[in-house]
Amino acid sequence: MAQVPQTFFDALAVRTWCGLALESLGRAREEIDAINVYPVADGDTGTNLYLTVESAVGAVEAVFAGYELDAARAGAPSLADAVRAMAHGALIGARGNSGTILAQLLRGMAQVLAADGASAHTDGPGLRLALRHAADSARQAVAHPVEGTVLTVAAAAADAATGAEGDCGTVARAAYEGARAALAATPGQLAVLERAGVVDAGGRGLVAVLAALVETFTGEAPRGVAAGAVTAGSVGAVHVLGGPQEPGEPGECADGAVGHGQGGHEQGGPAFEVIYLLEADDAAVARLRERLDALGDSLVVVGGDGLWNVHVHVDDAGAAVEAGVEAGRPYRIRITHFGAGDVHTTGGGRPPRERAQRAVVAVVPGEGLDGLYREAGATTVLARPGEPPASGELVEAVRRAHAREVVLLPNDAELRHTAAAAAEQARAEGIRVALIPTRSAVQGIAALAVHEAERRFDEDVVSMTSAAGATRYAEVAVAERQSWTMAGICQAGDVLGLIDGDVAVIGSDVTATAETVLDRMLAAGGELVTLVLGDEAPEAIADHLEARVRESYLAVDTVVYRGGRQGALLLIGVE
């Protein structure tokens, strides 16, 4: 059924366009999914674009509903209200690389169309400017744009619109025809598309959206759009459906960003797609772009005014989320494991094993404690001296634990933010995670000692947290350089005794320094002393300290563990 044409681009036209675009993508969704061969042949570009526009439609409809329900606001929303809602809805609902770029295209249009907030509508020249700014802003949002992608199609649409004189319908049709021609040429720009016998999937989706724009202003859809904007005949040997779907080549990305092959799962590139919304200021986002660009590829960061949508392909999904935590407040975190269906899929074709109800995941500083924690039933992440684990390693350990509920013990004050990012990511995957902020492995030992999986989760977490909090911790280490400390100036080679993270004793002898530290800790009382020996600790130090406790502190027990290569010469815990 033909639509009533819109003479100008006003709020009603925005509403009509969004609705028609959703219908157009709904018809083309399966076709677009089928030609999605790069950077990951996961067949979801059409679905991602549909969900992105669906979110935009919901936001626009909410604006109109607000006017309809509020008698004090007569008439319809302004053009600025409608396009801002459209852009915001697309931003918060953007899915995948293509959806994220489309959200930026809509935001770029909105920035122009809403510039004069008092204007009720715009005309052909205004639409030309909006399409130009949309294409330019989308290209700027992609870290490493390449040709033969949706960015190329958007630029061609803007170029064609720039040369069109007339009303909105004339401009929209010119943009559509320019995009359609550019889409047909994409196989000649990306070898992976030519080999697979398809056009760019993201660009195909944009053509469908522009076809809806034409229908909005003319009342009729462009001929052939319902059956596919590009057919075998229109691109010679290249066709939309059928043909082999081969992985891509390094350096290209069908949705506009440089990629490393088929998601990297089989070709050595990134294994995860990470998407999240982020509340952050411009300066923090600029730093985030640099960090994420170094972590992976297919980086697209869109948005502004404090709200952003971040998309990147990485091997270390946790590090990508952690970077967001450092930049601001990430939420609605979505992580997809390429080639495995989802992050919970197991490999090798084996049926997934049953999930345990609860598990403990702990970071441990040495091989000796690694064995101890494993014997106690924990899943461990080994932190070697000078090599703290990334949040991605912690997330992998949480997955490896394969439990519905996980208690996470970072066992290091410096890992607080890393562990928080890992916990947030695991929660986004549907795992219930409690982070106990243990600052030392001896606090983790205390927490693990009272762990009971049969208790209610909250009760178990409270008990473990209480045990960790009641354990004072210390370490004895050798200073690597001259430095100012709470106990004065130390020189390289001095023996340092740290209590609860602060230097309390500076000495020259390891055993004497350890004894002084232990005496200070027990001065406040205690029932159990835990000693964890590093592989470079003096042989007799454990016997000496045990004798000291036995002779000077009644009713205090001592346990000794071999920690192996753990960085510190000695870890001490007092409960």
Helix (H), strand (E) at residue 470: none
d(CA 321, CA 336) in angstroms, rounded, equals: 13
Q: What is the pLDDT of residue 69?
A: 56
Neighbours of 73 (CB within 10 A): 11
Q: Are residues 66 and 214 in the same domain?
A: yes
Pair of tokens at residue 255: 């949705």
Rounded Cα distance, 180 and 202, in Å: 12
Note the pLDDT of residue 72.
52
Task: Examine the fold and report which residue of 437, 469, 501 is the final residue of a domain before the chain moves on.
Answer: 469
Residue 508: which pLDDT band, with cuts at 50, 70 and 90?
very high
403 assigned to some structural domain: yes
Closest CA to 261 of 242, 274, 248: 248
Reported confidence tier of residue 331, pLDDT bands at 50, 70, 90 = confident
71 plus 175 within the same structural domain: yes
Question: How much is the pLDDT for 346?
Answer: 33
Evaluate whether 204 touches 187 at the Cβ level (below 8 Å).
no
CA angle, corner 85, sides to 73 and 214, nearest 5?
A: 105
DSSP letters for 231-264: -TGGGTT--SS-S------TT--TTSB---SSTT
Does residue 134 share a domain with residue 71?
Answer: yes
**Would 338 be classed as within a structural domain?**
yes
Same-domain status, 413 and 495: no
CATH of the domain at 556: 3.30.1180.10
Asked if residue 378 belongs to a domain, the reply is yes
The residue whose two tokens read 């909410």 is: 62
CA triple 293-296-299, angle to 5 deg: 60
Q: What domain range is 427 assigned to?
A: 356-469
* Whether 174 contacts 191, CB under 8 Å: no
Report yes or no: 361 and 415 within 8 Å, Cβ to Cβ: no
pLDDT-based confidence at residue 451 (cuts at 50, 70, 90) = very high
User: What pLDDT is stored for residue 38 in this prediction?
Assistant: 64
Bridging pattern class, strands 307-314 and 272-279: antiparallel
How many Å apart are CA 189 and CA 550, to the nearest integer? 78
- 173 φ, ψ (degrees, to nearest 5): -65, -40
Say yes or no: 104 and 157 in one domain.
yes
Q: Say yes or no to pLDDT of 42 above 70.
A: no
Which domain CATH number covers 336? Answer: 3.30.70
Mean pLDDT, range 511-528, rounded to an integer: 92
Instruction: Report yes or no on 257 lying in a domain.
Output: no
**What backbone torsions phi and psi does residue 34 show, to the nearest 5 degrees?**
-65, -30
- On whether both 49 and 134 belong to a single domain, the answer is yes
- Say whether both 108 and 185 belong to one domain: yes
Same domain, 228 and 187: yes
Q: Is there a single domain that holds both residue 477 and residue 369?
A: no
- Mean pLDDT, range 97-119, rounded to an integer: 88
Taking alpha carbons only, the member of 548, 541, 497, 487 closest to residue 522 is: 548
Indicate if 305 and 383 belong to the same structural domain.
no
pLDDT at 179 over 90: yes
Is 351 part of any domain? no
110, 11 contact by CB (below 8 A): no
Regarding pTM above 0.85, the answer is no
**Does pLDDT of 342 surpass 50?**
no
Q: Which of 300, 322, 343 finishes a domain? A: 343
Cα distances from 179 to residues 33, 100, 274, 465, in angstroms, run: 19, 19, 29, 59
Helix pair angle (79-93, 11-34), 10° resolution: 30
Is the same domain home to 126 and 221? yes
Flag whether 271 is in a domain: yes
Structure tokens at 162: 């720039």
Q: Is 347 helix (H, G, I), strand (E, B) or coil?
A: coil
What are the residues whose beta carbons fall under 8 Å from the beta carbon of 301, sequence distance 6 or more?
Answer: 141, 143, 285, 288, 289, 292, 308, 309, 310, 311
Angle between helical axes of 150-162 and 201-218 (0-180°, round to 10):
30
Count of structural domains within the chain: 4
Q: Contact 464/456 with Cβ under 8 angstroms?
A: no
User: In the 8-state DSSP scheme, what is residue 197?
Assistant: T
Task: Find tokens 């975190």 and name the residue.
Answer: 333
CB contact at 8 A, 540 and 512: no
Question: Which pLDDT score, from 0 to 100, does residue 209 have?
Answer: 97
The mean pLDDT value of the chain amounts to 83
> Domain ends where: 222, 247, 272?
247
Give me the CATH number covering residue 124: 1.25.40.340
What pLDDT score was predicted for residue 4? 58
Contact of 195 with 244, CB cutoff 8 Å: yes
Determine how β-strand 502-507 pairs with β-strand 488-490: unpaired
Overall average pLDDT of the 167-182 stretch:
95
pLDDT-above-70 percentage for the chain = 85
Flag whether pLDDT at 195 surpasses 60.
yes
Residue 254 within any structural domain of the chain:
no
Helix ranges restricted to H, 359-506:
367-375, 391-401, 416-428, 441-449, 457-469
Q: How confident is the model at residue 351 (pLDDT cuts 50, 70, 90)?
A: very low
Residue 349 lies in a domain: no
Neighbours of 72 (CB within 10 A): 5
Residue 75 shares a structural domain with residue 207: yes
Q: Is the pLDDT of residue 41 over 70?
A: no
Q: Does the pLDDT of residue 341 top 60, yes or no?
A: no
